[in-house]
Structure formats: C-alpha cells, structure tokens
Amino acid sequence: MPRIRALAYRMVPHTRRPRAILMGDDILAKVGGYVLGNLVISAIAGALTFGWLMIFSIPYAALLSIMVALLDLVPVVGSTIAGLIVAAAALTVSLPLCLCTIAFFVIYRFLEDYFLVPRIIGRAVEVPALATVVAVLIGGALLGIIGALVAIPVAAAVLLIIREVWIPRLDKA
C-alpha cells in the first residue's frame, strides 16, 4: 500500500504534493474509521442477537450470533439474510417466537440504519448523519450493494475535497 500511495502522490504536481499528501492521509484515516465503525456495529448486532436468543432459549445462540455479526458486515442484504436464518432457527422452537424474532430483526434493522450507522460511522468519518443516510441511499440506488458499501467513504472524501479545495477557492474569488 505505501508504494501505491507514493506512486499516486508522484502524479500530483510538486507544488501541490504536500497538500495532496495531507488530504490523502486524511481520506485514508476516514476509510479506517469507516471500517472500524462497521466492525463496532456488527459486534452490536451480534451481541443483541445473542441476548435475544439466550432469553428465548433458541438453540445455537453463540453460532447464530457470530453469523449475524459477520453477515451484518455485508451492506443492505447481510442483516436481512442473517435475520431470516435466525428466524428459521426460532421456528424450531415455536411459530410465535419465529414471528417475534422477525419483528426483532425488523426493529433492529431500522435502528441500525437510522440511528447506529449515522451516529457511529458518521462520527468516525465526520459525515453528518443526514448525509450518511442520503449517501447510502444514493449509492445503493446507483450501484446496489457495492454502492452502499462505498457510499460513506466516498461521501467523506467528497466533503473533505469540498472543504479543503473548493471552499478556499470560493473565498479567494
């Protein structure tokens, strides 16, 4: 990775290279914050699922919770697939528990999308909460799962470029 960065920085004119290096390092820090934020949210999903499964004595609670945490890393469809698998496991206990488990995942998904992601990831990459939600919606609509995955880091990079390049140029004009 350092060689790729060095090569990319060599393509920038010498007079602007220090600023490009600072901006590049800032963008990489934001991408790192995004990855860390995703890991935190996935851990929360796994922990809450484990609690739900233990309360209602659904078999294989630990294994299912780990699966939920891992699938939660997949944007848009990961937590939905995980919820369906856990609901199928809950169906082995009873139909009402299966329906309650589906409701649990619907409520959790709503809270994750509109509360956790904007606050945890938005704060990690310094993107406002509303911009986080809008970026994911636009990225998902344009490029599907991949678009939703890269939407927040791209939004962070765009906001950084606007703040560091475009606004100073407007101030000089």
Q: Is the pLDDT of residue 83 over 80?
A: yes
Q: Is 144 left (phi over 0), alpha (psi -120 to 50) or beta?
A: left
Q: What is the pLDDT of residue 18?
A: 85
Alpha carbon distances (Å) from 40 to 18, 59, 70, 73, 141:
33, 25, 11, 10, 25
pLDDT digits (tens, 9 = 90+) for 134-169: 888 899 889 888 888 888 888 888 888 888 888 777
> Rounded distance, CA 112 to CA 47, Å?
13
**Ranges of each domain in the chain:** 20-172
Q: Which is higher by pLDDT, 49 or 163? A: 49
Length, in residues, of the chain: 173
Tell me if 118 sits within 8 A of 84, measured CB to CB. Answer: no
Give the CA count within 13 Å in the CB-facing half-sphere of 72: 29
pTM of this structure? 0.79
Q: What is the pLDDT of residue 173?
A: 65
